[in-house]
Amino acid sequence: MSGPIQVGQLYPTNLNSGLLGRTKNVSNETSTSDFQNILDNKLLKFSNHASKRLEQRGIELSADQLKSVNQAIDKAAAKGAKESLILMQNSVALIVNVPNRTVVTAMDGKSMKDNVFTQIDSAVII
C-alpha cells in the first residue's frame, strides 16, 4: 500500500467480522424487539379520549381492577371480539379495542344511564 488508505481497502469486502474478533450482536436486537412485541401485546393502553374521560368523571382503577380488565380482554380476544364493552362491578364501563388492547372510552354509572352502546360486538361483565 503505497498510496493513501481509503475506506474499504484495509479489508476485503467479504471478510467476516467474526474474524476481526468482533461478533455481531444480532440476537440481542431480535430478543429486544421480541420483548417489545410481547409487551405491546399484553399491555393495556388508554387512548387520549379515554384518559380525558377517566379524569373528567373521577374514575380511578386499582391494580386489581386493571388485572381484571386485562383478563376480560383476553377472554374477549379468545372469542374473536374486536370492540368490547367491559362492565365492572363498581359501575364503570369501558369500551375496548380488543386487538390493540386499548381502552377507547370510559363511563361511570351516571354517564351510562339511558345510553345506548353502539359499534361493539361483545360485552364482558366482571
pLDDT for position 18? 52
Q: Would you state the pLDDT for residue 4? A: 63
pLDDT tens digits in sequence order for the chain, 126 residues long: 566 655 555 555 555 555 555 545 555 556 666 666 655 567 899 999 999 999 999 999 999 999 999 999 999 999 999 999 999 998 999 999 999 999 999 999 988 888 889 999 999 999
**Helix, strand, coil abundance in the chain, percent, nearest 5:** 40, 20, 40
Q: CA 9, CA 5: separation in Å to the nearest integer?
A: 7
Beta bridge partners of 102: 45, 97
Torsion of CA 102, 108, 111, 116, to 10 degrees: 50
